[in-house]
Amino acid sequence: MTFTRRQMLFTSACAAVLPMRAQALSVETSQSLVSSLVAEVNAVIASGKSEAAMIADFAVLFDKYSDVPTIARYCLGVDARTASQAQMRTYTSAFRNYIASKYGRRFREFVGGEIIVNGAKPVKSWIEVETTVQLRGRSPLQMDFHVSDRSGSHKFFNFIIEGVNMLLTERAEIGAILDSEGRNIDALSARINAV
């Protein structure tokens, strides 16, 4: 059987579209992603490991479940447009270490507690997955994850703990550090990598 040029183009177009449709952003997949993340975070919290070991584990989870390049680029702001590819690679790696260390310490505060997934709903172009952090001897905290599929698969790109937006907070923080380093991206990367 011989395909005409039109049939070949149609077949190629279908092949390009179908995987995207199969990977379309879904509430169920987003909630499943966060449920898996939460299960692994809970396991790290309950592991009894040292702070350094827990932070290393959180760094692995951050890579596995979040869209690190998108988060890093957003937090760098307009300076990302003028950075070279090498600078972006170095900065993204440093940013990943910085976030894992900073929020790993925050998650370590949950030792003795548990994160529970409550549900998920579409919000604008992402899915919001709502969780509750049950803490020992303290009031529970609300933590919401924002999940997108822009990276090609479901990944979280933001989380909000008790109304504090990680993306906005870190964009302001990275901007302040960049200002203090004279808008030098290489100096910024070296500084946040040492945190």
The count of other CB atoms within 10 Å of the CB of residue 48 is: 9
Instruction: State whether residue 117 is helix, strand or coil.
Output: strand
* pLDDT confidence of residue 81: 95
Sequence-distant contacts of 13-16: CB under 8 A, at least 24 apart: none
- pLDDT digit string, tens, across residues 119-151: 999 999 999 999 999 988 889 999 999 999 999
DSSP 131: E
Give residue-wise pLDDT tens across range 29-66. 999 999 999 999 989 988 989 888 988 999 999 999 99
- pLDDT higher than 70, residue 2: no
CATH number of the 25-193 domain: 3.10.450.710
d(CA 180, CA 187): 10
Integer angstrom CA distances of residue 188 from 69, 118, 142:
16, 38, 32
167-184 mean pLDDT: 97
pLDDT, tens only, 10-29: 334 333 333 333 458 999 99
Q: Do residues 151 and 135 make contact, with C-beta atoms less than 8 angstroms apart?
A: no
Mean pLDDT, the chain, rounded, equals 87
- Predicted confidence at residue 107, as pLDDT, reads 82
Structure tokens at 151: 């990276």
* Cα–Cα distance for residue pair 72/171, rounded to 1 Å: 9
Q: Which residue has the higher pLDDT, 18 or 155?
A: 155
Query: 129 near 32, Cβ under 8 Å?
Result: no
DSSP states along 31-70: HHHHHHHHHHHHHHHTT---HHHHHHHHHHHHHHHB-HHH
